Amino acid sequence: MIGYGIKSENGQALFLCRTGTKENAQRNSASFPSSVSNVLTCVHESAFSEKKMKILIVDDKKEGLYLLETLLKKGGHEVVSAANGAEALEILSAENVEMIISDILMPEMDGYQFCKNIRQDEKLKDIPFIFYSATYTDEKDEAFALKLGADRFIRKTVRPDELLGKTIQNVIKDKEQHESVQKKSTPLKDEKEIYKLYSERLVNKLEKKVSELNSSLTKQEQLNEKLKIKEYAIASSINGIAFADLDGNLTYVNQSFLDMWGYDSEEEVLGKSATKFWNSEYNGLEVIKKLYYKNKWSGEMKAKRKNGSVFDVRISANLVTQKDGRHLCMMASFRDISEQRKLEAQLRLSQKMEAIGRLAGGIAHDFNNILFIIMGYAEMIMGDFPKDSEPYNKLMKILTASKRARDLVRQILTFSRQDDTERKPLNIQPVIKESLKLLRSSISKNIEFKVNLDTDCGDIMGDPTQIHQIMMNLCTNAYHAMEETGGCLEVTLNEVVIGTDDMMNIKPGKHLRLSVHDTGKGMTSDVMEKIFEPYYTTKEKNKGTGLGLSVVHGIIKNHEGNITVYSEPDRGTTFNLYLPVIEEKSVEETISDDAVQKGSEHILLVDDEKQIVKMESQMLEALGYQVTAFISSSEALNTFRTEPETFDLVITDMAMPNMTGEKLAQQLKNIRSDIPIILCTGFSERISENRARRMGIDGYIMKPMLKNELAKKIREILD
């Protein structure tokens, strides 16, 4: 064995280990710093590894650096040192080292963060890393260190010869054999997991430090420390926190309170009554009385910001009292729940729209079946009279009214489901007139209508249902603006040419300009900037959804058009809608027997409504077809199974008891895959034309339909 003497800068012996005399190993150790003197005993010759290395040691304590540096140099190693992780990273950017020995508790960048950076750096990740700590000594500290990628975790209570001998040599051997603990497991890379574990270690260490601190401080010092912590917690809370004296005047507010109410500094609010910050509809004194009575109060209120805007807050207030029962002050915590209320309103609206959709679907199915019977028999009776006769003309009016009812049902369904619909060449004048008819019947008589529609306007590529929706939304908005005072609602349609210099964000060329003007209360510029935002509304509660103008804006953009608005307070509002004109002309739908396509094939007809089966059978027979009809899908299936080749086409309803049209179609296709099938429905959420095609169903038609529409669909499938 060989003895070594180590001296400090002032020449005093730090320790001495002599051959065979362990008892004398700590001669003059009293002069050595107590933080390391208990670590030093003796250093054996075997403590120094045979391989000499360049080692980086990191510790913010000078005595720790001095001890390790001296021991490692005595072992023949080259040593560089740093006081923290950040300084060590700078050294590593310029120098190559073969091993790192680091403390954990350090300023700027502690050992955990330093190790994490090393293992995430492609150039540095393979350097052996040893933690050497006197502060972090728990098993969980060690486990976290190894998860970060450390090769070893050594507590400073270990003898230096164990560190320099066994540990370093083992790490070197592991590196050479690629069998280190770290290499057997992948370093933790999940940032959230690292942050969680790191926080747990810091909190654990902080708790220990606080415990140690509390044991050494006087009661007053402990109280001061706790007060500082509470002050920090209050000041940094995300909730608004305010203190008031017993008269209700504010004495303290935190930054979150200022941000919530829109104030820049404490000086603007301190000394003012807390009731000044609530909306006028609330009696602040009543709240204070409740607080005095129960010592605490919580609830929701409307608060008023500096700019006058109102928002929802949830309040938790307490009356602060001493042990003897004397009241000191009032304290309240505030949380802004405006966004929560907005989301709740949107959810309620969504649920309401969903309920409307279900209701509309249920009504539509039954109503369309009724309309189908009316339209079918009206058409058949019309065939018994000359076209210029009075009965024929009266029946034509019934048929026209039924068609209008059918279109109205489809509009309701489209709105309630927010479906995309097909655009086609469209003359929008009839749609506007139809919309105004509906509006006149529902708007109060104190609103005057002025309508000026240019009859020479061209057509657009559009969807009549969506144009109808635009008119209803804009005119309803105009009505609400004049509901109390009355006024004039003016609708104008003309054709204009948009040039390249008009700054309209639409293609130059011919456009229809649809203007809706009201003489109501108008809007400010701030409101105009927000009116197309979803859920934004200036109307009273339960008077509007905030979706009307947003829907209008979306429809116009889908039609490749533009919308502008001009308004001033008390001077009314004008909306101008621009829609591109097309060269193609719309084809008006007519009711005629002239081009009805007929046939002679055998049709299997299935519908659970007896009246529909009877009427539709007569309609098909009038077209020349042989019809076998059933009101039971099961009976129809059994008949088809017996004689599948006798039928040329199947027309089936969708919504039927026991077996739906969808399932019936699948069963029929299983029996005879080439049988053409037309699915007919008044309304179904489960089926659409596209889905029917994907299922292998050949045709899809919505009730109620005219005879020529049904005839055309049949020939499309059979021919």
For residue 125, what are the CA distances in angstroms to 56, 112, 148, 183, 351?
A: 14, 14, 11, 11, 55
Within 583-713, strands assigned E span: 602-606, 626-630, 649-653, 677-681, 699-702
Within 85-220, strands assigned E span: 99-102, 129-133, 152-155
Query: What is the pLDDT at residue 215?
Result: 58
CA-to-CA distance for 684 and 662, rounded, in angstroms? 11
DSSP 362: H
CA-to-CA distance for 613 and 606, rounded, in angstroms? 7
C-beta separation of 158 from 165 below 8 A: no
List the structure tokens of 372: 């189908």
Instruction: pLDDT band for 2, please (50, 70, 90 cuts).
Output: very low
- Residues above pLDDT 90, as percent of the chain: 25
Instruction: pLDDT band for 205, please (50, 70, 90 cuts).
Output: low
pLDDT digits (tens, 9 = 90+) for 32-49: 443 333 333 334 444 444
| Angle, CA 17 vertex, CA 12 and CA 21 arms, to 5° | 130
Q: Looking at the DSSP assignment, which residues form a beta bridge with residue 652?
A: 606, 679
Q: Could you count the other beta carbons within 10 Å of the beta carbon of residue 179? A: 10
- DSSP letters for 242-300: EEE-TTSBEEEE-HHHHHHHT-S-GGGTTTSBGGGGB-TTS-HHHHHHHHHHHSEEEEE
The closest of 185, 235, 676 to 668, measured between CA atoms, is 676
pLDDT digits (tens, 9 = 90+) for 659-697: 988 899 999 999 999 999 999 888 766 667 777 788 888
pLDDT digits (tens, 9 = 90+) for 552-593: 887 888 788 888 888 888 888 999 999 999 886 655 554 445
List the structure tokens of 146: 């190894």
Residue 712 scores a pLDDT above 70: yes
Sign of CA dihedral 122, 124, 126, 129: negative
What mean pLDDT is predicted for residues 346-353?
Answer: 69
pLDDT digits (tens, 9 = 90+) for 312-348: 899 988 888 888 778 888 889 999 998 888 777 767 7
| Angle, CA 523 vertex, CA 521 and CA 526 arms, to 5° | 160
Q: Could you tell me how far CA 115 lies from the centroid of its own chain?
A: 37
Query: What is the pLDDT at residue 22?
Result: 38
What mean pLDDT is predicted for residues 504-527?
Answer: 84
For 338, half-sphere exposure in the C-beta direction (CA atoms, 13 angstrom radius) is 11
Query: What is the pLDDT at residue 493?
Result: 94
DSSP 186: P
**421-425, 591-595, 600-604, 701-705, range with the lowest pLDDT:** 591-595
**76-80, 343-347, 631-635, range with the lowest pLDDT:** 343-347
> Long-range contact list for 28-33, CB < 8 A, 24+ apart?
32/8, 33/63
Q: Which domains, ranges and CATH numbers included, belong to the chain?
A: 43-206 (3.40.50.2300), 225-336 (3.30.450.20), 428-585 (3.30.565.10), 602-718 (3.40.50.2300)
519 — phi, psi (to 5°)?
-105, 35
- Residues above pLDDT 70, as percent of the chain: 75
